[in-house]
Amino acid sequence: MRLLHQRGPLHDLPDSPEAYDAVLAEVVGQALRRMTPEGNLEHPDCVDDIGDTSLGITSLLALAGQRIGDPRLPEAVRRSLAFHLRERVYREDNPGYPNLRVRNSRLPYARYVLEAGAHPIGDWPSTAWALLQAVNVLDMTDGLIEDDQRAQLVEVAHGYWRWLTEATFFNPQEAGNQAIGCVVGGLMLARHLPQPEGKSVRARALDLYCDEIRAHRVRDRGALLPPEHGGAYDNNYGPISLSFLAQAHRVSGEEIFAEDGDALARYIDARLTGGGFDNGGPRYSEQHSGFESVLGLRYFGARIGSDLGRYRGDTRWVRHAVKPDGGVDGHFAWMLVWQIQDPTRWHRVPSAKAARHQLRAGTTSVAFDSHMTPSLIEAGGTYYLPAAVNRQHGFGPVTDGFLLCRPMGEVRVRDLRTETLAAKLVTKPVVGRDHVLRHIQSLYVTDGTTLWVTVALERLDGTPYLLAGMPYAADDGDRVRRTADAEVACAGALRLTHPGEQGVDYFDARSESTQEQAAFALAADPRGYGNPDEGWRRLVASTALEAGPVADVPEGLSVFAVRYGEASDDPFTPTFERDGAGLTVRTEAFTALIGDVTGDAHGNPELTLRG
């Protein structure tokens, strides 16, 4: 079975002017066939996320009018805009909406579901989206609509802004992408308002960004990130936030958006595998955006000099939102408008700079979490997630059922590159159930095809093993499929184990369940509202690679050695020697010297490497 949402790398999409004109021509064809006598451009199957969708198609028609000049478009823009202003602008409070600060304000807003009281909780983002569609229409319809219709749209857009920032609590869902999107709407609206009104709206938008978004950033993996639905980052909404930061910088020129976008982009680059697979977040563990992420990944990929376009998006939403029948939907249409308007092209070369939370070369990569434990390993086209044992999750030595991977002190990291190899040494102090402080030294080395992992620490009693990950997904052409297989060699005994019990607390990689489905099943709240990351942390046990210790190692040490990658005829028989300089590791591909844990004058262990 293939994963539903993670499909092709986004930078594989043609993004020439000609390609975009072809997209717009197709949208125009669908829209003109669909338009009702009243001017409605909504998809007939649209029920939720509907309040801005007709206006979104209107904005695409306006952009097409600028670029391809179809004589049918001016009338279509005016009719569809009139429909939105007449039928999709609400001023009566939606029954049950819980986030109002002012009742009966009569300010306009957009509904998530048209029926009164049906699902009012989504009205805040729907209104933010309607604001963005409106300001895009205003930007692109000079000479295309009559003055009175433009004045009505300006009044409604300003009312949307006031409803979002005065009549309701700001960002009630604690969703960074929605909040930054609202700020972008204010910045774009300000250009269409007379002074000093426009100046006031711009200042208010910047204050909201600084005080309500930036001041509440969450730290993860060394980066400060806009919070997303209560978490630091979401692999669906995070890249969408990056797109909003790109547009905020494009329209305002304010350096704060560039700085924060650069930080978020470097974070995404570090956590993303070379193949573009990623998972995790407080809302959608595996669902990925498509065209909504293009602007941010392309804009900031160019700024930081890395190939962020390798991110695997949902290519069903390759250019714009669609319904199951493939018909265009106006949801998030502003992102297509902005990416067409932005002249930035994809940066397609990986960054040459070492990143603390990433090791990457060729087709092999390791992403590390805040504790410098691997969160995702990619080797030989297979992706490995942290395994679970006794409710503990991660990669690391296990003794008496206790996983040693959570640091009790400062974690030291040393990066090293040669002409053919890239390596990272992680030295981590840990404490087990026996309260003994141990120093784990984990060496990760790759030649771009194979990954060698060596883990050494003070000798463990009993029958320890290395929890070496859970094979979960594999590349399959331009898609990703589920797997429970792995090409792994071990210098000790190697076992691929599966949970002996069944139930939502146990994840067997041989099943047809996805990590996303299992995580939501364990989440405290309903799907779409719960935090799947919190749910996944409740997992008792999972499929796991268990690597036994190497038999012939220096006295006083336990050493584990694993090789990930495609099947190889080369034997994996590493040797280990220890002297006053440290531990020497020799494999078929390299020799490394891991310095003593006491380290140099600053306490940082040394690392030397030769191929």
| Averaged confidence pLDDT in the chain | 96
Look at residue 528 in the predicted model and tell me its pLDDT: 83
Question: pLDDT per residue over 144-157, tens digit each?
Answer: 999 999 999 999 99
Q: How many CA atoms lie within 13 A of 85 on its CB side?
A: 19
Question: pLDDT per residue over 532-546, tens digit each?
Answer: 999 999 999 999 999
Q: What is the mean pLDDT of residues 2-17?
A: 93
From residue 374, give the alpha-carbon distance in Å to each of 220, 359, 397, 443, 540.
14, 10, 13, 12, 19
First to last CA, the chain: 39
Look at residue 269 in the predicted model and tell me its pLDDT: 98
Q: What is the mean pLDDT of residues 573-583?
A: 96
How far apart, in whole angstroms, are the C-alpha atoms of residue 602 and residue 497? 41
In the numeric block, the tokens 């909201």 are attached to 208
The model's pTM is: 0.97
Q: What is the mean pLDDT of residues 424-430?
A: 98
Question: pLDDT per residue over 382-398, tens digit each?
Answer: 999 999 999 999 999 99
From residue 460, give the alpha-carbon distance in Å to each of 129, 150, 343, 569, 576.
57, 74, 58, 32, 17
CA–CA–CA angle 95, 101, 105 (5° rounding)? 70
8 Å CB contact between 407 and 593: no
Q: What is the mean pLDDT of residues 78-102?
A: 98
Look at residue 123 in the predicted model and tell me its pLDDT: 98
Look at residue 234 in the predicted model and tell me its pLDDT: 95
pLDDT tier at 530 (50, 70, 90 boundaries)?
Answer: confident
Question: pLDDT per residue over 218-257, tens digit each?
Answer: 999 999 999 999 889 999 999 999 999 999 999 999 999 9
pLDDT tier at 570 (50, 70, 90 boundaries)?
Answer: confident
Structure tokens at 130: 């309607």
From residue 143, give the alpha-carbon distance in Å to each of 70, 189, 251, 268.
15, 18, 22, 41
17 has pLDDT over 90:
yes
Cα 150 to chain centroid distance, Å, stands at 37
Alpha helices (H) along 284-343: 291-304, 333-341
Strand-pairing partners, residue 458, are: 557
Q: Give the 3-state secondary structure percentages of the chain, helix then strand then coil, rounded to 5.
A: 35, 25, 45
Within 10 angstroms of residue 169's Cβ, the number of other Cβ atoms is: 13
Question: pLDDT per residue over 399-416, tens digit each?
Answer: 999 999 999 999 999 999
Cα 162 to chain centroid distance, Å, stands at 30
Question: pLDDT per residue over 161-184, tens digit each?
Answer: 999 999 999 999 999 999 999 999
Look at residue 150 in the predicted model and tell me its pLDDT: 97
How far apart, in whole angstroms, are the C-alpha atoms of residue 426 and residue 4? 35
pLDDT tier at 515 (50, 70, 90 boundaries)?
Answer: very high
568 has pLDDT over 90:
no
Look at residue 425 in the predicted model and tell me its pLDDT: 98
8 Å CB contact between 352 and 346: no
pLDDT tier at 69 (50, 70, 90 boundaries)?
Answer: confident
Q: Any residues with CB less than 8 A from the CB of 164 and at least 6 apart, and which? A: 109, 124, 127, 128, 131, 170, 182, 185
Look at residue 527 in the predicted model and tell me its pLDDT: 87
Look at residue 12 in the predicted model and tell me its pLDDT: 95
Question: pLDDT per residue over 371-386, tens digit each?
Answer: 999 999 999 999 999 9
How far apart, in whole angstroms, are the C-alpha atoms of residue 556 and residue 585? 16
In three-state secondary structure terms, 444 is strand
Q: What is the mean pLDDT of residues 495-521?
A: 95
